[in-house]
Amino acid sequence: MARLVMKFGGTSVADIDRIRNVARHVKREVDAGHQVAVVVSAMAGTTNRLVEWCREAAALHDAREYDTVVATGEQVTSGLLAIVLESMGVNARSWQGWQLPMQTSDAHGSARILDVNGAELMKRFDERSEVAVISGFQGLHQKTRRITTLGRGGSDTSAVAVAAAIRAERCDIYTDVDGVYTTDPRVVAKARRLDKIAFEEMLELASLGAKVLQVRSVELGMVHNVRIFVRSSFDRPEDIDPHGNPPGTLICNEEEIVEQQVVTGIAFSKDEAQISIRRVQDKPGVAAAIFGPLAEANINVDMIVQNVSADGATTDLTFTVPAADYDRAQDTIAKARKDIGYERLDGATEVAKVSVIGIGMRSHAGVAAKAFRALAERGINIRAITTSEIKFSLLIEAAFTELAVRTLHSLYGLDKA
Ligand code: ADP
Ligand code: ASP
Ligand code: MG
């Protein structure tokens, strides 16, 4: 007997038929003798609609009320799944974030999990063989007693937090693909499923654009050593042997991976915007004058490129911010113009960041240089570059994203046969 967390995303619970399918997956594990906590997302499209309603109601709205609204999607699914499970003869009870409670910070809209109480769930496993059906994405800020949400894609993080709290053997993330691929399989047909991927690599892949897991879920899994297994919810539950080895990807410690490739995967993100400040004064304190106000405005700056001054007096400085913060960033820089001292402010939103990730890069030189050559041969201009120990990122024109990803995917030998 094992204790398991099973998480199902939006597409997997999109309608009652799919919820029935999910219930059959759950019943399979219960019948095999396992103790199960299920974490569910809102039905596909629901959260987007709720977010849109908030915007329609008022462009600038209170984040506390945003959370009140968007947390409702998951409540519906947890209740429906509990109903279906009971109708199949499986003991089940739904749990909202505030009922557990899933305690979080008060950063409404992207709250951090502080603590989850798993004791009551475990007691019910033992005493009543009851499946816990938990609404993902939601939490409670203890002091203010207000509902919080964990940021888009946050149900993954709820699931890993529950897995840590009940000391589950595994946290299965059921989704609409059968694992983590070398790149988004919806964009590159030749993408290959990985059997295993190290936490560090998954962290980079997720934070650089692969939305298959929320970044914080990977962080949490790494800290608490939760075995996260990404697999498909579309397999017929009856075809799966609960004691067998189903297809999927295990996120695990680096040491568990025997055959380490130099490059493991490629991520991309079109949610970037570029800002260039032309003819900035080249003198001490200018970087602080630019990035200080941006930090104060809570704008995350990512890639930064500063040219060497040609005339000794002025230079150009380029950096990227999330596309959603583009207008605010422009505004912040314009307001600080007197302190910074520059001639012109340029920007572009039609840009994308393509990133190449692999632990093997630590011990191999020249990995990035190969990419520059290959992209140049295809006429793709690189606007900015950043590197770290296990990844490098390139900023390019958005129209070339797919071509760049496919080119790099082949270049590093990731294409499936
Ligand atoms: P869920 O609703 O189940 O949480 P998501 O839409 O959040 O599902 O995540 C699954 C999606 O992530 C897939 O449909 C796929 O298009 C996308 N994706 C992006 N990069 C990858 C990758 N490297 N491997 C697998 N899926 C990826
Ligand atoms: N329903 C939430 C979202 O769409 C959380 C999740 O699906 O993980 O972002
Ligand atoms: Mg998701």
DSSP letter string over 158-220? HHHHHHHHTT-SEEEEEESSSS-BSS-TTT-TT--B-SEEEHHHHHHHHHTT-TTS-HHHHHH
Span from the CA of 301 to the centroid of ligand 1 (angstroms):
25
Residue pLDDT, tens place only, 75-120: 999 999 999 999 999 999 999 999 999 999 999 999 999 999 999 9
Average pLDDT over residues 347-362: 96
Give the residue from 40, 41, 43, 10 showing the smallest Cα distance to 26: 40
Closest ligand relative to 40 C-alpha: 2
Count of beta carbons in the 10 Å neighbourhood of residue 363: 8
Average pLDDT over residues 324-335: 96
Closest ligand relative to 151 C-alpha: 2
Ligand 1 proximity of 210 Cβ (cutoff 6 Å): yes
3-state secondary structure of 359: helix
Partnered with residue 274 across adjacent β-strands are: 320, 348
Q: What is the pLDDT of residue 160?
A: 98
Pairwise pLDDT comparison (261 vs 26), residue with the higher score: 26
Span from the CA of 181 to the centroid of ligand 1 (angstroms):
9
Q: What is the pLDDT of residue 309?
A: 79
Average pLDDT over residues 22-30: 97
Count of beta carbons in the 10 Å neighbourhood of residue 151: 16
Residue 238 pLDDT > 90: no
Q: Which amino acid is it at 29?
A: E
Span from the CA of 180 to the centroid of ligand 1 (angstroms):
8
Place of tokens 């104060």: 296
Q: What is the pLDDT of residue 133?
A: 98
Residue 310 pLDDT > 90: no
Q: What is the pLDDT of residue 311?
A: 83
Ligand 1 proximity of 11 Cβ (cutoff 6 Å): yes
Can you count the helices (H) and strands (E) in the chain? 13, 18
Q: Are 280 and 315 in contact (CB under 8 A)?
A: yes
Ligand 1 proximity of 249 Cβ (cutoff 6 Å): no
The ligand 2 atom nearest the CA atom of 156: 8
Ligand 2, atom 5, lies closest to the CA of: 153
Q: Which residues of 107-131 are buried (b: 16+ CB within 10 A; e: fewer)?
A: ebebbbbeebebeebbebbeeeebb
Give the residue from 100, 95, 219 showing the smallest Cα distance to 154: 219
Average pLDDT over residues 351-371: 95
Lowest mean pLDDT among 88-102, 201-215, 234-248: 234-248
Average pLDDT over residues 380-389: 94
Q: Calculate the average pLDDT of the chain.
A: 95
User: What's the CA gap between 68 and 140, in Å, rounded?
Assistant: 11
Give the residue from 202, 195, 260 showing the smallest Cα distance to 226: 202
Partnered with residue 93 across adjacent β-strands are: 132
Name 26's Cβ contacts closer than 8 Å, sequence gap at least 6: 6, 36, 38, 81, 85, 90, 131
Place of tokens 């429906």: 80
Span from the CA of 51 to the centroid of ligand 1 (angstroms):
20
**Helix (H), strand (E) at residue 131:** strand 131-135
Closest ligand relative to 251 C-alpha: 1
CA distances from 98 to 104, 146, 149, 219, 401 (A): 10, 9, 11, 23, 42
Q: What is the pLDDT of residue 283?
A: 87
Span from the CA of 145 to the centroid of ligand 1 (angstroms):
33
Pocket test for ligand 2, best of 39, 49, 110, 137 (most atoms within 8 A of CB): 137
Closest ligand relative to 158 C-alpha: 2
Average pLDDT over residues 387-410: 96
Residue 259 pLDDT > 80: no
Span from the CA of 115 to the centroid of ligand 3 (angstroms):
22
Binned at pLDDT 50, 70 and 90, residue 273 comes out as very high
The ligand 1 atom nearest the CA atom of 193: 24
The ligand 2 atom nearest the CA atom of 155: 8
Q: Are 238 and 20 in contact (CB under 8 A)?
A: no
Residue 285 pLDDT > 80: yes
3-state secondary structure of 117: coil
Take residue 67 and report the two structure tokens written for it.
């959370």
**What percent of the chain is predicted at pLDDT more than 90?**
92
> Model pTM?
0.94
Give the torsion through C-alpha atoms of 197, 250, 46, 13, to 10 deg. 150
Ligand 1 proximity of 136 Cβ (cutoff 6 Å): no
Q: What is the pLDDT of residue 252?
A: 95
Ligand 2 proximity of 42 Cβ (cutoff 6 Å): yes
Average pLDDT over residues 2-6: 97
Closest ligand relative to 74 C-alpha: 2
Place of tokens 């007197």: 338
Lowest mean pLDDT among 43-47, 281-285, 314-318: 281-285
Give the residue from 5, 22, 6 showing the smallest Cα distance to 14: 22
Q: Are 209 and 354 in contact (CB under 8 A)?
A: no
